[in-house]
Amino acid sequence: MRVLVTGGAGYIGSHTVVELLTHGHEVIIIDDLSNSKKEVLNRIQTITQKVPTFYQGQVQDEPFLTQIFTTHSIDAVIHFAGYKAVGESVEKPLKYFENNLLSTIVLLRVMEQFNVHKLVFSSSATVYGTPTKMPLTEEDPIGGTTNPYGATKFMNELIIKDYCVAHPEMAATMLRYFNPIGAHVSGLIGEDPQGIPNNLMPFITQVAIGKRPELNVFGNDYPTRDGTGIRDYIHVVDLALGHVASLETMQQNKGYVVFNLGTGKGTSVLELVAAFEQANGVKIPLRIQPRRSGDIAENYADCTKSKHELGWVATRSLIDACRDSWRWQSKNPKGYNQ
Ligand code: UFG
């Protein structure tokens, strides 16, 4: 397939581009580079020996997007592009609503114009809000999101769902990611956060490299086995392969469909730190801090539906992910800014 990947220079996007190319698909990337670096394109080429076509720009720039659809006969779109910092979204809600919603609306409008009927949307477990039971299945209630970023993921699902009602020819797959970690085994691409990392794994790797003195553990008084928050950490390459599986099963999975992409296994903050230390032989000093506002005690997926309907399961272990995150960080201490 010829696949348009919006946000294809980002962390999950770049790993997905690699897997698409190695599975024989053709890739066209759109990215405004607002949270990514052009260097990632060279790295993708080194890994795959293939050159993805790249356009720098914004998805909501309709003339720009139309030009790309005119130039290339696109079969399917994977829509990653979006702002994703939870804290910033609370400070700047309009920035998030404008960017994350308008891009989807313009994308659907242009897809309609060019008769492109296959879409994979980058959704998140955040759409489940504050869940009351674990593990989470795709049938569990969504909404009740606790920040504008999460609200945009939820609202985008609604927009795409309603679009599918009006367009029965559509195949639209919502992939609800749990917590992606790890990096490509080559150590050439990985997560490259700007400024202080919001997420746990990039914070751990920056402590390991000596960039930060210690890890702040946000709360050890949750009702969990060791008091720290539990999440479902999934290797980013497994996540990327979930996108390939989604595209390749779209004929069967027509209409609007939703899949959780996780491992089905919860891991606490302290367990992840212990796994990282064991995998890499490094010590991570830590300090217990108060809870971070908006955090939930635990969050992990039931992935039965993905297994049966996508034929996909996560196969990489937590130790693999810890080793791969560290390989990326230690080979690229400044990320893509060498
Ligand atoms: N944590 C720390 N210290 C840190 C960072 C995180 O203790 O420096 C803890 C958090 O309190 C939480 C766990 O590590 O218990 C995971 O936190 P992350 O920030 O890595 O991930 P979240 O589960 O909070 O957020 C992720 C995605 C969001 C998404 C959310 C829900 O980053 O995009 O899952 O799906 F919205």
Asked about 149 being catalytic, the answer comes back as: yes
Q: How far apart, in whole angstroms, are the C-alpha atoms of residue 103 and residue 76?
A: 16
Residue 288, pLDDT score: 98
Establish whether residue 233 lines the binding site of ligand 1, counting it when its CB lies within 6 angstroms of any ligand atom. Answer: no
Average pLDDT for 154-168: 98
Among the listed residues 11, 55, 149, 163, the single catalytic one is 149
- The pLDDT-based confidence of 294 (bands split at 50, 70, 90) is confident
What 3-state class would DSSP assign to 74? coil
DSSP structure class, residue 49 = S
Q: Return the exposure string of 315-333: e unless at least 16 CB atoms fall within 10 Å of the residue's CB, then b.
A: ebebebbbbbbbbbbeebe
**Predicted pLDDT of residue 253:** 73
Which ligand 1 atom is the nearest neighbour of the CA of 228?
15
pLDDT above 90 for 210: yes
What is the best residue among 127, 136, 231 to mutate for testing ligand 1's pocket, by most ligand atoms within 8 Å of CB? Answer: 231
Point out the ligand 1 atom lying closest to the alpha carbon of residue 125.
35
Vertex 161, ends 132 and 145: CA angle to 5°?
A: 30
Round the average pLDDT of the chain to a whole number and report it: 97
Q: In this predicted structure, what is the pLDDT of residue 224?
A: 97
Residue 254: pLDDT over 90 = no
Q: Is the pLDDT of residue 95 over 80?
A: yes
Which of 90, 204, 226, 295 has most ligand 1 atoms within 8 Å of its beta carbon, as the pocket-test mutant?
Answer: 295
The pLDDT of residue 338? 74
- pLDDT number for residue 252: 79
Give this prediction's pTM: 0.98
Cα 320 to ligand 1 centroid, rounded to whole Å: 20
